[in-house]
């Protein structure tokens, strides 16, 4: 018996009131077509949209009062550790929580998540299940286990511990062999000061320059980027000097280091959300008064770091490190409150974040050739950031995952 071929999935034609372009401007009178292969094939005048190919159907949407923008990107989320602080769930519990979290995120229009510290092989398996459609989820870009200093704070996240440049090089090669999308280095300890397991204040430097340089050299040789977890100034300077691609948190950034970041094209991922979570929801997260006060100081310094980075011309991209219900949508609002314009804040979770990702089909822009990861919201963005919390339509790889805007017609040839 001959099995008939699977018909191609339909093209999707969108006619919003406004379309957010890669520079962050909102333009009216645009039509966007996502082809059957899941990539964007047309952005521009509705009168020049190409006809459907023979045998391909097309679903069309008129979207008055709505803005079409790229699906949002969260560059810093630890998917398997996103539960309550201090909890010790089993691996099965972590996976179940991750499944619920990822489903919720994609339903809000967050179509790509970069996981910077979830242990391999579980995180890699989740990535692959998301990629083949088994798991309803944003696309996952996975670092696997972070590389951290022996006996230091990275142990909280199951880091691969190293001492010295030789071990750092070996660990980097092992991570690449496992199939990670990027490498992550724990240059300093975190907000909790290593979970109370090590000495030193929050942001205390743990990896040394030669160790980070060894990881960067191996990662870049294999076409992988390097993300550096660095709060304190010494650690930030070490990470930037070693040639990392992004610095996460960067809470104690100064102007001299910011200038170096701008010169070398290093992106800042401030993760204001986690500090806000700890300050505003500390008791319900089970945090001590001492840790809440530490988070308050860190939030103040990170907001100042964002201002310094912006003035120096550093690219700022959005990530959350969220431990609660807040998402990159809230991070966009926090970035705007910290001094970015609304346009810059939205770009942080779209164009700027997409530029950080390497490998695979491009995302983060409404542009021909980019992946059909799209979000339609009720309202005008970037003028109204509140519109981001009113999704009407979510597409991932051209497939409609959320539809609160019924199509006006479906045509086929």
Residue-wise pLDDT tens for the chain (413 aa)?
Answer: 565 566 678 999 999 999 999 999 999 999 999 999 999 999 999 999 999 988 899 999 999 999 999 999 999 999 998 766 666 788 899 999 999 999 999 999 999 999 999 887 999 999 999 999 999 999 999 998 999 999 877 666 678 999 999 999 999 999 999 999 999 999 998 876 655 455 566 678 999 999 999 999 999 999 999 999 999 999 999 999 999 999 999 999 999 999 999 999 999 999 999 999 999 988 887 788 888 898 899 999 999 999 999 999 999 999 999 988 899 999 999 999 999 999 999 999 999 999 999 777 799 999 999 999 999 999 999 999 999 999 999 999 999 998 987 776 666 55
CA distance 232 to 9: 49
**Residues ≥6 apart with Cβ < 8 Å to 321:** 76, 77, 78, 248, 249, 271, 273, 274
Tell me if the domain spanning 11-70+364-412 has CATH number 3.40.630.30.
no
What is the location of CATH 3.20.20.140 in the chain? 72-356
Dihedral of CA atoms 7, 135, 155, 213 in degrees, nearest 10, equals 20
- The residue assigned the tokens 């969260």 is 74
In contact, 77 and 113? CB cutoff 8 Å: yes
pLDDT for 103: 96
Is residue 127 within 8 Å of residue 140, measured between CB atoms?
yes
CATH assignment of 72-356? 3.20.20.140
Query: Crossing angle for the helix pair 255-264 and 233-242, nearest 10 degrees?
Result: 20
pLDDT for 394 equals: 97
Instruction: For CATH 2.30.40.10, list the domain ranges present in the chain.
Output: 11-70+364-412
Residue 294's pLDDT is 87
């Amino acid at each position: 018996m001959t099995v008939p071929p699977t018909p191609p999935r339909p093209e999707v034609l969108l006619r919003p009131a406004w379309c957010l372009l890669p520079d962050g401007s909102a333009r009216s009178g645009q039509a966007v077509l996502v082809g059957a292969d899941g990539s964007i094939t047309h952005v521009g005048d509705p009168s020049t949209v190409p006809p459907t190919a023979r045998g391909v159907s097309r679903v069309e949407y008129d979207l008055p009062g709505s803005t079409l923008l790229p699906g949002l990107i969260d560059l810093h989320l630890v998917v398997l550790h996103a539960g309550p602080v201090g909890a010790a769930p089993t691996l099965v519990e972590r996976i179940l929580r991750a499944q619920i979290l990822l489903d919720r995120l994609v339903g809000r229009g967050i179509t790509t998540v970069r996981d910077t510290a979830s242990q391999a092989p579980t995180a890699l398996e989740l990535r692959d299940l998301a990629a083949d459609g088994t798991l309803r989820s944003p696309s996952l870009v996975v670092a696997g286990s972070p590389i951290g200093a022996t006996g230091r704070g990275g142990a909280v996240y199951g880091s691969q511990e190293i001492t010295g440049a030789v071990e750092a090089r070996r660990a980097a090669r092992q991570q690449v062999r496992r199939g990670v999308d990027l490498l992550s280095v724990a240059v300093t300890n975190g907000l909790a000061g290593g979970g109370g397991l090590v000495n030193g204040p929050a942001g205390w430097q743990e990896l040394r320059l030669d160790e980070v340089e060894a990881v960067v050299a191996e990662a870049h040789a294999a076409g992988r980027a390097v993300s550096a977890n660095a709060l304190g100034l010494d650690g930030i300077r070490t990470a930037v000097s070693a040639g990392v691609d992004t610095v996460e948190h960067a809470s104690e950034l100064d102007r001299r280091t910011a200038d170096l970041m701008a010169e070398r094209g290093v992106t800042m991922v401030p993760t204001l959300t986690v500090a806000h979570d700890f300050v505003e929801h500390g008791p319900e997260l089970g945090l001590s008064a001492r840790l809440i006060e530490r988070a308050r100081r860190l939030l103040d310094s990170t907001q100042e770091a964002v201002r310094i980075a912006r003035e120096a011309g550093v690219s700022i991209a959005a990530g959350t490190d969220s431990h609660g219900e807040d998402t990159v949508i809230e991070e966009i609002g926090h970035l705007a409150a910290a001094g970015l314009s609304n346009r810059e804040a939205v770009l942080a979770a779209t164009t700027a974040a997409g530029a950080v990702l390497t490998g695979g089909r491009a995302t983060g822009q409404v542009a021909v050739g980019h992946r059909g990861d799209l979000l339609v919201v009720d309202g005008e963005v970037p003028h109204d950031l509140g519109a981001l919390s009113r999704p009407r339509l979510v597409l991932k790889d051209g497939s409609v995952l959320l539809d609160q805007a019924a199509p006006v017609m479906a045509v086929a040839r």
